[in-house]
A and B are shown apart, each in its own frame.
Chain A
Amino acid sequence: MAGATRVRSRARARQVTRHGRTAAIYAALVSICLLVNVPFIWMILSALKPVTELHFDPIRWLPESPTLINYSNVLENQDFIGAFGNSLIATFGTVGLCLSLAIPAAYGFARFRFPGRSKLMYSVLFVQFFPIIVFVVPFYLMYSRVGLVDTLQALIISHTVYALPLSVWMLTGAFRSVPREVEEAAEVDGASTLDVLRVIILPVCMPAVAATTVYVWIQAWQEFLISQTLSTSMQSRLLPVQISFFMGTESTDWSGLMAASVIVSLPVLVLFPFLSRHFTAGLSAGAVKG
């Protein structure tokens, strides 16, 4: 009798410890997530501060008299608007071009055996090892020879090429995991390869495709070095470069910089949480099965 009670209470004690430990882990994780995002909270709060509050002593995080004037300054800035528009075009253009190249390529790698396939696959990843600096001068020379310097097309091509290797990699991993029987059944029913792609592979691999899309979009939206080197005027000026101009060596318009940063980060901050679940799943599909 007494023995059974002791066993039961020990089991209950173990359960309590387990609950306690789980709670502690949750608490730790939530704290980490908050801490990691503190800089963004600072960004948002600072953007609401009028310039007068910048030199308060001591520095306060919450604005005394929040204002939207920084945002209106930034949004009235013609250069900023121009760069924003350019970035939208360049980013969506890059996503479109990259996916239309990467999806067929990944399908080819995943489904067909041809000589040199594995070598080609690894050489695709090999490009990731090159520092992006290596491309800067040659790109400039290349594009000037075809008269494409300072154009959005040049940026779209460059960003696509930079995002292609990892995109193909992630998509190939995902496509390979689709069971062949389903595809073969469809082909017996008379489906063309395009149909197979559209109706079977893409829906099944939606997490990986979403992940790849997000990845390409982010890369293109925030790329800096090539965008800076290849654009000599507002015609092809992209947002990251435009924002870097806010950071002058003498005086920096911090409030304006923060407001601009918020605006630039908005699409990403809004889109990403929705897609993150698919993204993490897709990323792992490429990496683990790779």
Chain B
Amino acid sequence: MRRRRLLGFVYIVPALLVAGGVILFPILYNAALSLSALNLRTGELRFIGSGNFEAVVGSPHFPAVVYQTLTWSVGSVVLQLSAGLAVALMLNSIRHGRGLLGGILLMPWVSSFVVSAAIWRWLLHPEIGGLGEPMRALGLGWLLSNWAADPARAMIALIAINTWKWFPFVAIMLLAALQAIEKELYEAAMIDGAGPVQRFRHITIPGIRLALLTTVILATTWALNGFTLVWLITGGAPAGATDIMGILVYKLGFVGFRFGQAAAASVVMFAMVVLVTLIYLRVFGREEAE
């Protein structure tokens, strides 16, 4: 028996070594970096305590960045979940073609960030973009004109594109959970005279509780940690109005070369994710037998 236990560990060791070494070092280094000043020439770190954090959090731009990050995240998660749940419910209620439709639906999630950004920038191009004509025909042409220079419309565009990219994934995750609910529960409820809304509230939602929580946490994490889509579509423009935390970190490090501050900002990002996750678990996870 002792041997079996040790044996299990042996299987894990390779993965652990690689992952541990390659992951642990950056995390620890990043933490150290956030508390230091980096000499770019010699690469040495000089401990300066909380100086970087003060600079980042105290900067006049910081509150706006936090606000924009929250807007981006809340908007994305809410839309992704609504659309994902709606589509999951629809997919759950049909009998054939679920696999095929699901596969086609997942295309946005599957496509590369760069390709998605390129297509959408092209589609939404104010002058020669593909969506120009249809939108003008619907009287929505004003939405497109020079949208990239308008903070509100730029953020809306970003959230919409982010939703387009992720909601299929949410739909598939929720679909799996929906399918795990026993049909007999629904039938019994129907015999007892429960209407569709009641069945939804008392059977469906509780049935997918765990998957819902997991999906919400994942979606929120990915949104809060977002970078690539925003960077490739607006780059934080106009004038930092679409800067989210990830963009701030990148700009501090690779545009301003203030790596200590960049590291501090990334620690703040991480803290946000942990905080939000803990809140979720506290509020929604209470009834789960973990």
Contacts and interface: CB of A to CB of B under 8 A. Distances in A.
Interface in A117-151: 117, 120, 124, 127-139, 141-142
B54 interface: no
B225 interface: yes
A257 B259 contact: no
A127 B23 contact: yes
Given A101-B18, A128-B221, A29 B87 contact: yes
B216 interface: no
B284 interface: no
**Chain B contact residues, majority secondary structure:** helix
B48 interface: no
A129 B259 CA distance: 21
Contacts of B8: 108-109, 111-114, 117
B232 A55 contact: no
Contact of B130 (A42, A127, A224, A265): A42
A47 to B, nearest CB: 11
B53 interface: no
Nearest to B99: A277
Given A161-B22, A244-B114, A280 B30 contact: no
Contact of B176 (A36, A102, A158, A287): A287
Interface string B253-277: 1100001001100100110011001
Contact of B94 (A22, A113, A161): A22
B119 A29 contact: no
A11 interface: no
Nearest to A56: B128
A290 B212 CA distance: 13
Contacts of B190: none
B10 interface: yes
Contacts of A265: 111-112, 115
Interface residues on A, range: 35 or more
B26 A135 contact: yes
Interface string B1-35: 00011111111101110110011011101100100
Contact of B128 (A59, A120, A290): A59
A70 B8 CA distance: 54
B129 to A, nearest CB: 7
Nearest to B161: A39
B19 A243 contact: no
A180 B135 CA distance: 59
Indicate the member of A26, A59, A109 with the most B CB atoms within 10 Å: A59
A261 interface: yes
Indicate the member of A32, A243, A257 with the most B CB atoms within 10 Å: A32
Contacts of B101: 29-30, 33
A114 B90 contact: no
B126 to A, nearest CB: 11
Contacts of B274: 129
Nearest to B267: A134
B111 A268 contact: yes
B105 A39 contact: no
5 contacts: A105-B12, A133-B246, A134-B266, A265-B115, A288-B180
**A-B pairs, 10 with minimum CB distance:** A112-B8, A284-B176, A276-B103, A222-B112, A108-B11, A138-B26, A105-B15, A131-B225, A101-B15, A104-B11
Interface of A: 22, 25-26, 28-30, 32-33, 36-37, 39-40, 42-43, 46, 54-55, 58-61, 101-102, 104-105, 107-109, 111-114, 117, 120, 124, 127-139, 141-142, 157-158, 160-161, 164-165, 168, 193, 218, 221-222, 224-225, 229, 240-241, 243-244, 246-247, 254, 257-258, 261, 264-265, 268-269, 272-273, 276-277, 279-281, 283-285, 287-288, 290
Given A254-B125, A288-B210, 8 more contacts: A39-B116, A54-B128, A107-B11, A127-B19, A131-B266, A137-B30, A141-B43, A265-B115
Interface of B: 4-12, 14-16, 18-19, 22-23, 25-27, 29-30, 33, 43, 87, 90-91, 93-94, 97, 99-108, 110-123, 125, 128-130, 132-133, 164, 168, 172-173, 175-177, 179-180, 210-211, 214-215, 218, 221, 224-225, 227-228, 232, 245-246, 249-250, 253-254, 259, 262-263, 266, 269-270, 273-274, 277
